[in-house]
């Protein structure tokens, strides 16, 4: 099992380097292109949700990606108060919001949001093909 951990910051998220490093880590672990795209997109959506819907300083957000033989697991931990997410539904085509959770639910094999000691823990898992 290989893992990668980021302690995020707004400047890291704003740079192309963040996506490139995520993609390179997944490529080095033989994750196929379509799955790499889904994983990186879901991570960006999750981080955008934290930035948009909470008062959390992104520097206090931890991202851990683990590549195992049969799956990729993403853990995103922040110190925001836990709020039970609503069941996502497909947003209207011209809507500017509401896609993130729907994309995660439809692209990942498992999406779990739960309270943690420090705040909120999002876990995404994708089975490898």
CA atoms within 13 Å, Cβ hemisphere of 99: 12
* Mean pLDDT, rounded, for 50-55: 82
> Structure pTM?
0.89
CATH code reported for the domain at 2-127 = 3.30.565.10
Give the start-to-end residue ranges of the domains of the chain: 2-127
Beta bridge partner(s), residue 80 = none
- Among 13-27, 36-50, 81-95, which stretch is predicted with the lowest mean pLDDT? 81-95
Say whether 75 sits in a helix, a strand or coil: strand
* Listed range (23-27, 39-43, 87-91) with the worst mean pLDDT: 87-91
């Amino acid at each position: 099992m290989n893992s990668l951990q980021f302690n995020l910051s707004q400047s890291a998220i704003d740079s192309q380097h963040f996506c490139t490093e995520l993609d390179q880590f997944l490529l080095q672990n033989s994750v196929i292109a379509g799955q790499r795209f889904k994983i990186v997109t879901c991570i960006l959506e999750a981080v955008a949700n934290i930035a948009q819907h909470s008062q959390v300083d992104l520097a206090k957000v931890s991202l851990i990606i683990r590549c195992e033989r049969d799956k990729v697991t993403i853990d995103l931990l922040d110190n925001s108060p836990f709020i039970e997410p609503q069941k996502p539904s497909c947003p209207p085509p011209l809507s500017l919001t509401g896609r993130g959770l729907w994309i995660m639910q439809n692209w990942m094999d498992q999406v779990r949001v739960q309270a943690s000691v420090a705040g909120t823990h999002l876990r995404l898992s994708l089975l490898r093909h």
